[in-house]
Structure 1
Amino acid sequence: MADKNAVDVKVGQLHSGTSTPPDSERNDVEHDDRTLSQHILKNGEQVLVTWRKEEESRVVRKVDFLFLPIFSLMFTWMAIDRTNVSGVLTSTFVSDTNMTRDQANTGVSLLWLGIVLLEIPSNIVLHRIGPHYWIPAQVVTWGLIEVLQSQVTNAGGWYVARLFLGLGESGFIPGGLYTLSRWYLPNELTQRTAIYFLGPSISAAFGSLISAGALKLHLEAGLKGWQWIFIICGVSTIATGVLAFAVIPRSPHHTGHLFGGLIRVPGWLTDHEADILVAHADRTDVLLSWSTWPYLIVCLTGLQSVNGLSTWGATIIKSLGFSSIRANLLNAPGSLLGAFFGIILSGFVDRYSRFGYAIIFAAVWTLAGLVALYVCCTPSRSCETKMELKLTLLAHRGWQPINVTWLSLNFKTPQKRAVAYAVYIGCSNLGGTYGNQVFRASDAPLYRNAWIICISLGAVWLGGVIAQTIGFQWANRVFARKLVENPELEREVVHTDKRGRRYRFYW
């Protein structure tokens, strides 16, 4: 519990903490081109904060280097804990546990079911106790479950382990996204979200390297190689969760409160810098809003068009005649390059605010790669297949942070954003229950049916995002006409471009 002298500013709760007063009460002025002022609610009173733009830039850089990395690190281990099964399946895991390949696949799908079951309840808990407690607790919990997977001996144990791993991870992604949205402005958020999403982008690469190293420990200390994979990843995850509990602050005014305030040190933000950040971060029902559904359709098709490759990519490469270790090493570069691809693409979005165009580009790229895999995935063309797999994965993850940021910015209040995040990520995880099922044992090693399904999903994805972009452009034109007749609609404006044109939706 915070002491009585603690600053009463709660990020993310507009009604009871950090907020700006109504337009009639606001006194936000720009003194000159480099000085800004804005009221914030602090200790129950309206306080006027004045700062210069170079101070604001310095505060944002501090957040970038001291706050954002821990979220990206947690996401990285979560993604590795989900996808390290790719390396596990190239080992003796299936024979050691007396499972069939399809039983192993069922366990993979149960993880996504577990995530979906607690996605929204997890976010309700996050809002009640705060992300500074809830998110690290989740990380430690699923890290422990990850370690316990090393003790699986049969299909039943595998099913339970994967289901509980999903329950432990549920709510982490939308919770992290919501937290970041309270520390950054909309025009800063896309690239920071892309950095947050470096986790899944690089997880296949680093996960494959970890798997390759762990498999070399086969029979060390009496443990199989796949057991070492789970133990190494789980212990690393637990350590990351403890670190997060130590350093994630309750608010910008509590950056010196380590381990929930048990240890007090000088904060990495001064009181004035915290005030600046609070002022800087000022910013229908989600499920019933027509604007939500295009994102969900795009999510269910775009992500799942290549989701199976996260699990079976190394196995596909192994089927071309490579050893387990070699297959995991060859599976690494595509996702690693994809991380840099996503940063570049998100930089374009932050500069031009054209979300739809960036995702269309990623969809075309991915669809072309899937078609090439359908044509060329044969043992006699192993080199071409490796390259096409890498190129397909290059755009695999890069568009996801763009899409989820696009969704959040088209909702104005933090409460709606939080629900939108939970709905979207829940939808994404629901797709995982079928995305991994397309690569069936009966279809190996060429996977002709699997590639056809992936191509079909990719085509729907491309058509959906084109229709979504055109739909938002049309809605903006209608909104512009209504705005002339009804100036009160100004409160619905989410974006004003350099020419002063006001939009209801980013597109």
Structure 2
Amino acid sequence: MQNLARDDSGSLEKLEREHNDYVSRVDDPPVLSEAAEKRLIRKIDYKLVPFLSLLYLLSFLDRVNISQARLDGLEKDLGLKGNQFQIALLVFFVGYVVTEIPSNIALKHLKPSRFIPAVMLIWGIIMTLMGLCTSFGGLVAARFCLGLAESPLFPGICYYLVSWYKRDESNLRIAIFFSSATLAGAFGGILAWAISHMGGIGGKGGWAWIFIIEGLMTVVVALVSPWFIEDFPEDAKFLSPKEKEFVVHRLKQDVGAGGHFDWRHVKSAFLDWKSYVFALIYIGIAMPLYALSLFSPTIIAELGKFNRPQSMLLSTPPYVLAFFITLASSFLSDRIKQRGYFNVFWMTVVCIGYAILLGIDVVEKPGVAYFAVFLCVGGVAPCIANNITWTGNSFAGTLKRGTAMGIMFTTGNSGGIISSVVYRTQDKPKFIMGHAICLAFAAMAVFLSLFMRIYLAAENKRRDEKYGKVPESVIGANGIETSAVRDDPVLRAKFGLEGMTEEEIELLGDKSPFFRYYL
């Protein structure tokens, strides 16, 4: 037991008795060997990650397939003029950002196995019906409703995943989940090219069949998803009671107790300035991402060297590269337990890509411009998962984390509104304004990520100097090491928590002396 310098010998004796009582009964419930723990994590991975990734693939596909539909006659058939196409893109994000914070709070109350399938079914029906639109007004209404319906999925699942995994495990899982969006970017071009051959069937253009077929795919998956989606760890049906207890315990030791619903957690997230810095970093990443997702087929088509089918197919390779970069970057980030520098590096690559697009004549040098698209897509993709994980890693307990992530998603996905209007029809083929604004947002993400990395490192150092480093284990029953360090009364006294109730300690969240930030 660590020695505490105390003048009150009676208090020290009391702590000794409390510690002895603690170690006599704690045996790190329940005990799993390292190999058994790895098998349990793999079991959770196989149950959660693949199906959730499929859901986001469908979500992202339904969100951006309008960019492929544009190449297949959407504007002509609906009589879109001027910037009406950009307006149709914009209204999706207006609906999308409205419900992200309340949906994350609601997910704590509602069962994910019911909530997520319900929103999927709604947006799948809307997507299918969008193929029946005959006017600009109908398209705008459908896109707005689609945004409302889709908005709970991505922030909800990211919040859900960080509620299952420790901080040094979550980035890879969220990256795998998000990489389904890069697959949607790759797969979407090929799928749209194939579906477009249905043009004329039933008197509908190829663009309409893109919406109908992809919407029906979502409806089918939504109907079966209640049998594939699990709830939070304490209620998971695929885990044994011992496994559930172990998962909850390891999460508590990593970030503190999950906690019950308390509006003070929500208020704490809104009053924490870090919520807004992470949100600004995220919009700096998300704005270029959405711009590329919505306009890369158009940008490629306007290079002057490729016809419509070629432009559809050429939008695929950058996203294939982005898929592998996202997985490799997240694996390394979890391995070395670093987040900030990865944002700085990859968003600098994005800045270089946009600088190239601004600095050359894209019509005269289409190969160089296409290479720059690779840099932009490949650089921005790994930062989405990285920043989501970094934000989730930086807040505790569960409800404050969910609210802070909701703030981040609401702010960040507002970047979709901006990206929808900066690539104007009259600016083609160079799109100077669009590229310049994307460059500015990417640069903001670089500088704010560097700032947060420096600040969080200084805060960790301050806590270490004041309280000492948090031990990975204490001596439990029968001399066996236990990771239940947060419950040891001696350590609680050393870290300034003596006499506090569990509720008071829980409310400290990431301000707890036990908490250390990921950098």
TM-score in terms of structure 1 length: 0.84
1:38: which partner in 2? Answer: 28
CA deviation vs aligned residue, 1:309-366 (integer Å, no higher than 9, x gap): 2111101111123122110100011112112111111112111111111111111111
How far 1:25 sits from its partner (Å)?
A: 10
Residue correspondence of structure 1 range 301-312 to structure 2 within 5 A: 301-312=284-295
1:408: which partner in 2? Answer: 392
In the alignment, which of 374, 380, 389 is matched to residue 396 of structure 1?
380
Q: Which moved more, 1:103-112 or 1:454-463?
A: 454-463
Q: Mark the CA change 1:272 to 1:164 in structure 2 (over 3 Å): closer, same or farther.
A: same
Query: Is contact 1:337–1:394 with CA below 8 Å preserved after alignment?
Result: yes
How far 1:127 sits from its partner (Å)?
A: 2.5
How far 1:243 sits from its partner (Å)?
A: 2.6
SS at match of 1:397: helix
Query: Does residue 365 in structure 1 map to residue 349 in structure 2?
Result: yes
**Separation (CA, whole Å) in 1 of partners of 2:327 and 2:119:** 27
Q: Mark the CA change 1:26 to 1:382 in structure 2 (over 3 Å): closer, same or farther.
A: farther
**Separation (CA, whole Å) in 1 of partners of 2:236 and 2:301:** 48
Query: Does residue 431 in structure 1 map to residue 415 in structure 2?
Result: yes
Query: Does residue 318 in structure 1 map to residue 301 in structure 2?
Result: yes
How far 1:235 sits from its partner (Å)?
A: 1.0
**Separation (CA, whole Å) in 2 of partners of 1:439 and 1:28:** 63
In the alignment, which of 217, 237, 250 is matched to residue 280 of structure 1?
250
How far 1:168 sits from its partner (Å)?
A: 0.2
Query: Does residue 343 in structure 1 map to residue 327 in structure 2?
Result: yes
**Separation (CA, whole Å) in 2 of partners of 1:134 and 1:477:** 41
**Separation (CA, whole Å) in 2 of partners of 1:175 and 1:103:** 31
In the alignment, which of 352, 359, 374 is matched to residue 336 of structure 2?
352
Query: Is contact 2:300–2:315 with CA below 8 Å preserved after alignment?
Result: yes
CA deviation vs aligned residue, 1:420-444 (integer Å, no higher than 9, x gap): 1211111122121112211011111
SS at match of 1:89: helix
Q: Which moved more, 1:160-169 or 1:330-339?
A: 330-339
How far 1:419 sits from its partner (Å)?
A: 0.6
**Separation (CA, whole Å) in 1 of partners of 2:232 and 2:359:** 53
Q: Which of 1 and 2 has greater Rg?
A: 2
Query: Is contact 1:28–1:38 with CA below 8 Å preserved after alignment?
Result: no
**Separation (CA, whole Å) in 1 of partners of 2:44 and 2:219:** 23
How far 1:139 sits from its partner (Å)?
A: 0.9
1:261: which partner in 2? Answer: none
How far 1:503 sits from its partner (Å)?
A: 6.3
SS at match of 1:151: coil
In the alignment, which of 418, 425, 440 is matched to residue 402 of structure 2?
418
Q: Mark the CA change 1:221 to 1:503 in structure 2 (over 3 Å): closer, same or farther.
A: same
Q: Mark the CA change 1:29 to 1:156 in structure 2 (over 3 Å): closer, same or farther.
A: farther
Query: Is contact 1:494–1:506 with CA below 8 Å preserved after alignment?
Result: no
How far 1:255 sits from its partner (Å)?
A: 5.8
Matched to 2:299, the amino acid is I
CA deviation vs aligned residue, 1:210-249 (integer Å, no higher than 9, x gap): 1111112211233210011101211111122223212213
Q: Which structure 1 segments of 5+ residues have no match? A: 1-23, 40-48, 257-267
Q: Mark the CA change 1:470 to 1:62 in structure 2 (over 3 Å): closer, same or farther.
A: same
Query: Is contact 2:119–2:149 with CA below 8 Å preserved after alignment?
Result: yes
TM-score in terms of structure 2 length: 0.82
2:54: which partner in 1? Answer: 73
Q: Which has the higher contact order (CA 8 A, sep 6+)?
A: 2
Matched to 1:185, the amino acid is K
**Separation (CA, whole Å) in 1 of partners of 2:155 and 2:148:** 14
**Separation (CA, whole Å) in 1 of partners of 2:196 and 2:516:** 53
2:518: which partner in 1? Answer: 506
**Separation (CA, whole Å) in 1 of partners of 2:277 and 2:408:** 11
In the alignment, which of 139, 142, 148 is matched to residue 123 of structure 2?
142
In the alignment, which of 131, 150, 165 is matched to residue 184 of structure 1?
165
CA deviation vs aligned residue, 1:252-306 (integer Å, no higher than 9, x gap): 57666xxxxxxxxxxx544443443343333471121122222111122232134
How far 1:388 sits from its partner (Å)?
A: 1.6
**Separation (CA, whole Å) in 2 of partners of 1:253 and 1:486:** 31
Residue correspondence of structure 1 range 14-413 to structure 2 within 5 A: 37-39=27-29, 49-251=30-232, 268-282=238-252, 283=255, 285-321=268-304, 322-413=306-397
Aligned-residue Cα RMSD (Å) equals 2.8
CA deviation vs aligned residue, 1:371-424 (integer Å, no higher than 9, x gap): 111123522211221122122201122111111111111112011111112111
**Separation (CA, whole Å) in 2 of partners of 1:391 and 1:295:** 23
**Separation (CA, whole Å) in 2 of partners of 1:489 and 1:332:** 54
1:21: which partner in 2? Answer: none
Query: Is contact 2:284–2:412 with CA below 8 Å preserved after alignment?
Result: no
How far 1:147 sits from its partner (Å)?
A: 0.4
Aligned length: 456
Q: Which moved more, 1:327-336 or 1:239-248?
A: 239-248
Q: Mark the CA change 1:249 to 1:98 in structure 2 (over 3 Å): closer, same or farther.
A: same
**Separation (CA, whole Å) in 2 of partners of 1:26 and 1:315:** 69
Matched to 2:277, the amino acid is P
CA deviation vs aligned residue, 1:478-501 (integer Å, no higher than 9, x gap): 3333336972279779799xxxx9
Query: Is contact 2:282–2:412 with CA below 8 Å preserved after alignment?
Result: yes
SS at match of 1:320: coil
Q: Percent identity?
A: 26
**Separation (CA, whole Å) in 2 of partners of 1:92 and 1:27:** 75
CA deviation vs aligned residue, 1:125-160 (integer Å, no higher than 9, x gap): 323221111011111110111101101111111111
SS at match of 2:380: coil
Matched to 2:243, the amino acid is E
**Separation (CA, whole Å) in 2 of partners of 1:368 and 1:502:** 40
The structure whose residues are more often strand, as a share, is: 1
How far 1:201 sits from its partner (Å)?
A: 2.1
Query: Is contact 2:61–2:184 with CA below 8 Å preserved after alignment?
Result: yes
Query: Is contact 1:191–1:343 with CA below 8 Å preserved after alignment?
Result: yes
Q: Mark the CA change 1:252 to 1:412 in structure 2 (over 3 Å): closer, same or farther.
A: closer
**Separation (CA, whole Å) in 2 of partners of 1:186 and 1:275:** 18
Query: Is contact 1:248–1:255 with CA below 8 Å preserved after alignment?
Result: no
1:15: which partner in 2? Answer: none
